[in-house]
Amino acid sequence: MQDTNLRDYVLSALGHLSWSELDELDEAITPRVAELLSKAFGPQMRQLLAPLIAGER
């Protein structure tokens, strides 16, 4: 799957969540979790998770 298609797929899927669920997901995805998922799935995963870890250490 191309990066653009994957990004569009993920954005579409996230549209099924409520605002409170998105907030919960934002809390659950820490920089360390993003790092591990990127290691497992590749650098494009980091790009997808970047908004969820913005401003976190």
Kindly list the domain boundaries of the chain, sorted by start residue: 3-53
Question: Which residues does 33 contact at the CB level (< 8 Å), separation at least 6?
Answer: 49
Instruction: Name the more confident of 7 and 11.
Output: 11
Q: Which distant-in-sequence residues (6+ apart) come within 8 Å of 34 by Cβ?
A: 45, 46, 49, 50, 52, 53
What are 13-50's pLDDT values in tens digits?
Answer: 889 999 999 999 989 999 999 999 999 999 888 888 88
pLDDT for position 1: 52
Instruction: State the amino acid at position 9 in one-letter form.
Output: Y
